[in-house]
Structure 1
Amino acid sequence: MSFPPIARTLHRHIDVDGVRVFYRESVPETADAPVLLLLHGFPSASHQFRRLIDALGARYRLIAPDYPGFGHSDVPEPASTGGTFAYTFDGLADIVEGFVERLRLDRFAMYVFDFGAPVGFRLAQRHPGRITGLVVQNGNAYEEGLSPMARDLVALRPEDEGAEQRIRDLLTLPSTRGQYEGGTGDPELVAPDGWTLDQHFLDLPGRTRPQIDLIFDYRSNVERYPAWQAWLREHTPPALIVWGRNDMFFPEPGARAYLRDLPDAELHLFDTGHFALEERLPEIAPLIAGFLDRL
């Protein structure tokens, strides 16, 4: 009896501009395997891709870093409290850009999810020639892709009364669990490991302020939506869009909006929530494999 190959995954750290960045990297069976950079979301880290890496990492080189302030990466002191690192999406993109440079990734596709979309689109604007394609999973770039809850968060300003507490409420266990189980068809298919590990990291000392700063900076992403849409129209990257249509933050219209700028994109909608891979990996992984084979 033969079994499909299971990936060997390396777990490493690398220094990027003085920040120790943790990442996972699969070891494919062939040295020239396509590269897929996996950019995680909030409030997670590279561990959200563990099952995808197991499923596809023997055929493709899958690389998933943890951003500063997330997962196993360093948590430099925020500039907002007198430190040297600005927890903005520009700041995260700077680190991911340096990470790509350190690993000498010249050509790669990107999997952009949630926070990974604004990080990834910044990287794409800086180095359009390196991007071979996009896998977009609940990674928003359109106004109509913002739910009322997301719009309320984007509207928060540091000077607003109660704004910081609103964000702190988002960093609690019920909220984290809700992001995983909300909108799913069968919550029993969602392992508790993801949301419990996310909450473990959120509750560590020094982790709250980076998340608050990033939520306050999210409006910078919405302001850049027109520029990212123009980038898509100009460069027309091959794109696979796989989307949990019941996402509490980024509902279905955000997925369909991509077709305005990328009419040849492949779109698949799933009756699940924000963390679509948790419930629908068996359907999504083959789509990603086929997409990478066609690049």
Structure 2
Amino acid sequence: MKTKAYRNWLAKGSFYNICGRQIFVIDTNAHNSKKGNGNHSSDGNKPVLCILHGFPTSSFDYWKVIDALSEQFRVIIHDHLGFGFSDKPIDYSYSLIDQTDIALCLWKQLNIESAIILAHDYGTSIATELLARDNVGLCPIKIQQLVLCNGSIHIELAKLRFMQKLLRNRFIGKLVAKISNKSILGKNLRNIYFDQSKISQDEIDTIWAMMTHNNGKEVLARVSRYTFERHTLWYRWIGALKQTPIPIKIVWPENDPIAIAEMARVIEKETKNSKLYWLQDAGHFPMLEVPDSWLSEVISAISNPI
């Protein structure tokens, strides 16, 4: 079912051909907005904020905060390959390395030379791959600062949900994806909120519609295997965090049941130039559950030097 929110979000963005794939992008800069949308003033003089969304959702995670963010930033957010409105090729590995390449190719098309990166969940591994490249002079954009939210970068500390473990299983993952439905999604999303009443049925309907759009169920098992890369590339990505001189702002809910609070403390302790900002009474998707508090902490984190 295509909800009103689904249609409105689709209307906000455009599709870009990136590496031969159609990638859905929202860019609040009027020059890159969808043709016919004249409601935005030019964001050319604003700092660029590139957002990397999480799993298994899409850029829609930011529907409650994008307008407020766009008052201060030129916001660029895309659906990763295999997510949301972007292409979902069936015979594809969905490596986080490839997702990083796609993000960089997109930003190059948009002529982004310097940006603040904000990453949540799945997106934090793309962010650490960017750091790994930057540390050896191979990142083509200047990362002004990095904001990390709820990402199980320290995968050994993560409390993965049972459904996620089933989906990534090589033998039964495809079957689990095939029999999954909106009710199962709703139950799993509610279970990772601090206050389950904060997610509406309309939001669940919209998230499900975006997940299942264009082969979504067929690729879900493959996309879910990204957590294995977090083990395989642990030394590369944790090493990049430890080595980078880039300021790192950590915005984290104390009650996240997946990327637990201890993870945020470890990241702050092992990074050279970081500061931790706690969120109260929020679970794994704070930008949806407590948008005002999340927005306040993110803007404060970006605005204040360490």
Q: Which range, TM-score by smaller chain? A: 0.7 to 0.9
Secondary structure, aligned partner of 1:48: helix
Aligned residue in 1 for 2:34:
none
More off after superposition, 103-112 vs 86-95:
86-95
Aligned residue in 1 for 2:293:
283
Conserved 8 A contact 1:26-1:63: yes
The answer to whether structure 1 residue 247 and structure 2 residue 256 are counterparts is yes
Distance 1:74 1:266, change over 3 A: same
Q: Percent identity?
A: 20
1:214-257: CA deviation from partner (whole Å, max 9, x where unpaired):
22342012222222222122113222222233334322222211
Conserved 8 A contact 1:146-1:251: yes
Q: How does 1:1-295 map to 2 (within 5 A)?
A: 10-27=12-29, 31-76=44-89, 78-79=90-91, 85-127=92-134, 128=139, 130-147=142-159, 149=161, 153=165, 157-158=169-170, 160=171, 162-166=172-176, 168=178, 171-204=180-213, 206-262=215-271, 264-294=274-304
More off after superposition, 194-203 vs 279-288:
194-203
Secondary structure, aligned partner of 2:233: helix
Secondary structure, aligned partner of 1:24: strand
Letter in 1 for 2:261: E
Distance 1:181 1:149, change over 3 A: closer
Conserved 8 A contact 2:24-2:86: yes
In 2, Cα distance between equivalents of 1:145 and 1:151? 17
Distance 1:246 1:65, change over 3 A: same
Structure 1 unaligned blocks of 5 or more: 1-8, 80-84
Instruction: Give the Å deviation of 1:167.
Output: 5.1
Letter in 2 for 1:15: N
Q: What is the CA RMSD across the aligned residues, in angstroms?
A: 2.7
Distance 1:113 1:91, change over 3 A: same
How many residues are paired up? 278
Instruction: Give the Å deviation of 1:46.
Output: 0.9
In 1, Cα distance between equivalents of 2:212 and 2:184? 13
Letter in 1 for 2:23: V
TM-score, normalization by structure 1:
0.82
Secondary structure, aligned partner of 2:65: helix
Instruction: Give the Å deviation of 1:67.
Output: 1.4
Aligned residue in 2 for 1:3:
none
Letter in 1 for 2:45: D
Instruction: Give the Å deviation of 1:23.
Output: 0.9
Secondary structure, aligned partner of 2:13: strand
Letter in 1 for 2:148: V
Structure 2 unaligned blocks of 5 or more: 1-10, 30-40
More off after superposition, 221-230 vs 46-55:
221-230
Conserved 8 A contact 1:88-1:217: yes
Instruction: Give the Å deviation of 1:33.
Output: 1.4
TM-score, normalization by structure 2:
0.80
Instruction: Give the Å deviation of 1:117.
Output: 1.3
